[in-house]
Structure 1
């Protein structure tokens, strides 16, 4: 019996189970969809190239026009300032909403509800017409003497109204993003850090915030892009952003579509750069999660060990 066991020929793999003989399965529906997409893309390219009403020569002529570039710079400037101020206010509002002091929590929740509920265009028009409600803006003691005052008409310019309106609107959304990111971190992380002697500040900066950034970065990048596109709303208060700049030109030349295409090209270019930067930030803060996700699971490791034994 021992000789028969030792002389047993090795088991052969059936031909049907040979991976090298496998062939990809035909998917006719995918081929049909691919052909339809190619035809539609060719039709779109033909429409863009052959339609003379697009005025591509006018588009290239005004693409780097000084007035357009100044409007683009102003749009980027408003976006950066609005995002920075909105993020700082959002951190304070998120901390207030997580506070155990109910008056502060109630005020922060009311702020978020109001500024998220009112459209940003309405807010911009309201701040631009603030002089109707407050002809004078002053600093002093409530119900007491006034130290200094300024005319609201002179102080609230289109740029000031745009920065105030967009920053306060952005703060409400950033508050919810930051609050949800901090809430996504397991409470046990905080308890473990406190048990090891970490202070509250060090626990937040070294333990909580790095883990929360993985949740905060993607929606923050989306908010930054949305704010950049939302700067086109400031054109209604005569703010010389990118859209208002091209409007000034086509009101004089009557080339509406080519100038709007110029604005679209610049918006797409800046948004594409911001998207690349956002993806890099996401990869940076998601490195630990990817490494954890790439580790083989226990059942897979056990299965591989079983195959090796056989």
Structure 2
């Protein structure tokens, strides 16, 4: 189901930009998502989305963004894709994300950071390239597995990993700063050394300049129930293993996290790829003009 809503605000200020690509402001033009990833934390009760597959479209997003940017004295990086994918299939016709990017491109002093699981992003490579040349643009392609069969049930309605990697290669060839979000890493499912090696090697072949990992996943309330329900359909023996290992914990790191991090670091050093957030290229906004004293 898709329905339109009138948003009152679009940009939300981030308190610690250094923790996430230097993003100063977050925005989402959609609420909910149709990719159906069984691990998505946005299903949790705290986000207040009752039926996550019902998509709310912020129909006034572009007009509202123009107004809000005009009133921002503090310039900076605008991030999109934190709560729902900005390149869901509906974006193909609505073009709201493209409108947002065009608005950012026309606003002096603003950069953009986008997270997506969709190869549709290559449609907007021209606008991303324009932003990149004026200020800065970062694209993070989310990949948790390179196994196409595994991806087909843990991310059932998202484009295949091969399509995402091809999109990454296309963006990288146009000098758009881009890389991979290797997250989440699902314990007992995608936390094998072989999976990590394959992702790094294929990301490198696609021109990735960074690979930022989370070697675990989140589990809480409604989202935990949904994950276990889907897990029971394909790998029922893993549900009690998760329950024994994590109980009611929210932050569920892979038991192999330490060795996987060492492996990832070694491979990224080998290929010259950044793997820590502190080393990711950032946008530094211009200093506001100094107020001159009258006397």
Normalising by structure 2, report the TM-score.
0.23
Over alpha carbons, which structure has the higher Rg?
A: 1
Q: Which has the higher strand share?
A: 2
What TM-score comes out, normalization by structure 1 length? 0.22
- Asked which structure has the greater RCO (Cα within 8 Å, sep 6+), the reply is 1
